[in-house]
Structure 1
């Protein structure tokens, strides 16, 4: 089968590798959609800077997979051939407290392996997965919907739940890439009264408004406009940028007694703790991906909300054009980018 690898230096290499065979508790999934995440670009595609959980081990890339089950191994009871599935992209040890809570993302066992980072991911015709990492994709959702949920939408939903978004809230989203757009769309579905977005890119600001992810989009650094719109600040602030200045802006424009979540990976944040956090009584969450439990909840809610995550996908490519897919994603002027296969 064909698979795409990310050797660094902004390159993609297509290779022929052996088809996987399922072992005990394992499942082979025929890929139907594998979307590209900003962390793929930041930590693997451009150059390999990752350590620990982000250490790329020269495997098939792609940690946002969805597809159809082809074959199951012995000991598999919940998942069956033909099932449409989303792959939770971290395979933990299954035994620690974090795994038992469904937060395999926080597993610290040396056996922890992320799809597309330490074990083969979704940028391949077939994927070998552990049954425990699979969630059945509702019929109402597409494979591209499912791929978006596997990381981006799941990550945004976790943050929104942490800050407990409801109809009482105005929400500020800083960073209008795919995760920021996901956060805006779901914040509205959860009842947010107003969603204000901030980004340095005019193209991304325009796209966020066009998608309905935000009600108004403000250029980064335009504090006067943010104050005119939000006064003392929004009840909820969410940073999806991973940029230190933007993270600080998120906190500064979250109102007194407000709640903020830092979602975007990376960045060095320098903050006057007393003035910005303590004296303004802020609650700040660091929110890293999500759990299998929360992801299942999200899949159910998306059906109820009639919300399709593929709305944020602007371009799709076949696996043979994975290099072009990464070029478009890395340009930072589009929506989310997906690699797709035709369904049987």
Structure 2
């Protein structure tokens, strides 16, 4: 079967990326990585309010009302801004304040669909809403790969990480049809061994034995002031756990559930693979020390 134009274009870009890698070994320049990080930050002013329409939510402590996927939130204005953005928590929408699209919203709005919104072209609405969560997964993977490249201790795998960074970036710029055809679980399965290796190399710089809580159920655990430096907390359930004052430097937090986790006064300075979404979901304060690429949530 002949490849589609989208597939041929994607293959060409992947080949071009491979050629670039071979001529420029090692990690991409810091300016390039910062550009990737900039693109991974949500820019609601340049989005068509996609998270306010595409995603469903149920009436709960996080949302004042229920809304099905594909239906605009009643608070969404005609300019795609939130009508209660400054009062989300007071109005019963704390779930909105902890969500982070990793910049997928503006990418879908202005790259995938060329700046034509779902009101202007209602025939594209369904496809646009379906692409959003896939794009978010891609951007999340790019975040992790970028973080891994920043680890000097992982330089032995920087060239492999760079290839993935370029390949994933190329995928985000494909057509809606190409993006929807992606197997995200398979992509994660291919990238994860490299991220795990980067974690091992990064945590190996911490002397002594390190705690292994990978995938552990630590819901409500009391670990205040704990020495968790270099620990593996990959995929750990830390919902409502007390990590206040804990030392989490160089701890691997990829996929850890930090909803309601108390990290007031904790040190996450060099914690591995932390995302803004995780911080948004946790409880911190002015004494919480954060990774350099992330910001302190306004609701702390």
* Structure with a larger share of its residues in strand: 1
**Relative contact order (alpha carbons < 8 A, sep ≥ 6): 1 or 2 greater?**
1
* Structure with a larger share of its residues in helix: 2
